[in-house]
Amino acid sequence: MIKIDNPDRSSWDELLKRPTQTYAQIEGTVLEVFKEIQAKGDDAVNFYTQKFDGIQLKKIQVSDSEINLANDRVNLDLKNAIKLAKQNIEKFHKAQVTSPIYVETSEGVNCWQEKRPIQKVGLYIPGGTAPLFSTILMLAIPAKIAGCKEIILCTPPDKNGNINPAILFTAALCGIDKIFKVGGIQAIGAMTFGTETISKVYKIFGPGNQFVTVAKQMATKYNVSIDMPAGPSELLVVADDTAEPSFVASDLLSQAEHGADSQVILVSTSKELIYSVEREIESQLAVLPRKKLAEQAIANSKLIFVEDHKTALELIDEYGPEHFIVATNDNDYYVENIANAGSVFIGNYTPESAGDYASGTNHTLPTNGYAKQYSGVNLDSFMKSMTFQELTPQGIQNIGTQIELMAVAEGLQAHKNAVTLRLNKLKQNPNA
């Protein structure tokens, strides 16, 4: 990891850059795949699955027999762990259900807001070196609670054309309608345009690599919404002498092992802690099964010393971390004042892994600084707010003249007429 001592504020922009390619560097590849899928549907999806994933599939939709087989292959302890996580995630997201809001803004002018589910949603679940079945829980559970009518799932197949059993078990447990063996750009393209087999959706959810992130952003150009630009994983820990170095190191490594393009940062007011964490990282890294991937991420990651908590918080807000762990002697200061973070983990005994799996909060979070303007996935992500209004005869009389005046001032005579006709009708027949 790169150690930085009291970085000057003028260097923060450069210091906090993510180790990712830019949109422009990837856009050409994504656009080519999108155009092919738009024109050729399933044929293009199959072509790119063979090209990128190295497998030619006869059928891309997972069959009932494959789901049943997967159920038999997942051991009971893991099933029970997944069910516990499902229970906690459901509990947290059901608590986010809100009642309609009713307001009489003027006498006889009734306004209200209700939330309705997005009818068709597509979930993208990364596979590859780490089959993220936990992400199914994070996306399918709120989609079901929201009441989405159609929920489809795309996830990449392995070299034998199979899907990890835990992914299929979890998808079935959550009541996913259809599961497809499609990953990467071609999965996002298929859900954007629809093919002979895969439905077009209204909104796409789920994290992925840089190509998936850019593909999701491109999908928005074709009238498909996305949850957020969620790319490679990242974690920032702020810690001082009250933190346990082994805990901090384990948290940093837990994100580093996601992939070579992940980034982890430690910000600390203690040089001694930084040195201790660095030693712990070397020790723990040596025995990790995903050591090579983690090493590459660690090479791009940083250990930053600052003099005080105020400077630390300002730097952290400038970064806007996806995951933010606070382990200091003044946790309340950070919790009360943090402005830009996807999800916050407080205290020595709150590992980021808890949020990844089973605490109940959602782990699909904004990366690459998007925490400055995006929320993580929540129940509202799967819903739309619709407003309603109903005016009684008294209501239109109470605000009608004001509407007429405003319409004339904007030069919109038909808007005025729509009110004037009603007011004249009421003058002729006050009991209407």
Which residues are identified as catalytic? Answer: 322-323
Is 210 flagged in the annotation as binding? no
Q: Can you give 279-347 as a three-state secondary structure string?
A: HHHHHHHCCCCCHHHHHHHHHCCEEEECCCHHHHHHHHHHHCCCEEEEECCCHHHHHHHCCCCCEEEEC
Angle at alpha carbon of residue 196, lines to 194 and 197, rounded to 5°:
85
Q: Is the CB of residue 419 less than 8 Å from the CB of residue 393?
A: no
Q: Is the dihedral of CA 56, 61, 67, 68 positive or negative?
A: negative
Is 334 flagged in the annotation as binding? no
Q: In what order do the strands lie in the sheet with 109-117?
A: 101-106, 109-117, 383-391
CA atoms within 13 A on the CB side of 137: 29
Q: Is the CB of residue 125 less than 8 Å from the CB of residue 206?
A: yes
Nearest to 241 by CA among 281, 276, 196, 205: 276
Strands 234-239 and 323-327: parallel
Q: Is the CB of residue 239 less than 8 Å from the CB of residue 248?
A: yes
Is 61 flagged in the annotation as binding? no
Is 93 flagged in the annotation as binding? no
Is 410 flagged in the annotation as binding? yes
Q: Is the CB of residue 183 less than 8 Å from the CB of residue 49?
A: yes
Q: Give CA–CA dist 249/246, Å, rounded.
A: 5
Is 296 flagged in the annotation as binding? no
Is 356 flagged in the annotation as binding? yes
Q: Give CA–CA dist 237/366, Å, rounded.
A: 17
Q: What is the largest CA-CA distance in the chain?
A: 88
Annotated binding site for substrate: 233, 255, 258, 323, 356, 410, 415
Annotated binding site: 124, 186, 209, 233, 255, 258, 323, 356, 410, 415
Annotated binding site for NAD(+): 124, 186, 209
